[in-house]
Amino acid sequence: MNPNYRIRYKKKDFELEVEGDRDFVLQQFHTLIGFNSDNSDVTININEISSPEISGSLTLVEFYKSKKPKTHDDRFVLFAYWHTLKEGKDTFKVEDIVAFYTKVSEKRPSNPAQHMTNNVKRAYFQRVSDGVYKLTTSGSQFVSSLSGSDE
């Protein structure tokens, strides 16, 4: 999987964020804001997105236990995060996420489609097409913020 990059541009009440491979990010950014080289008051920072949390030999079960998601909605985001960053798949369907329940020995939810919808409303998933979703930056940040504590 190629590294993913993100660029954020914020000026007054306008904010733009582009994510993807490096060339795509730069090309889209320049196209979307009409950036030119004489725009001296703008600083561009492009950052490689990495996930040290799931690098190396960490297994799904170890990652799941370290994060301790409390609800099905939270589990769906965690599984989508794993699916996207560890398995390198950009999109997923409800059945892809539900399959992770067996892998971590958890009881499957009775209405999985509702949890997909809930996470779209939370802005953790984006609907790409009918029945196909992708993890958003907010969804990734949510998983990173899970502390794994029992509070």
Domain spans in the chain, listed from the N-terminal domain onward: 4-49, 53-145
**Is-contact 107 71, C-beta < 8 A?**
no
5-33 per-position pLDDT tens digit: 667 677 777 777 777 777 777 777 777 76
66-118 per-position pLDDT tens digit: 999 999 999 999 999 999 888 888 899 999 999 999 999 999 999 999 999 99
Fold of 53-145: Arc Repressor Mutant, subunit A (1.10.10)
- Please report how many Cα atoms fall inside a 13 Å half-sphere around the Cα of residue 150, on the Cβ side: 1
Stated pTM of the model: 0.66
Say how many Å lie between the first and final Cα of the chain, rounded: 36
Q: How far apart are CA 119 and CA 23, in angstroms?
A: 30
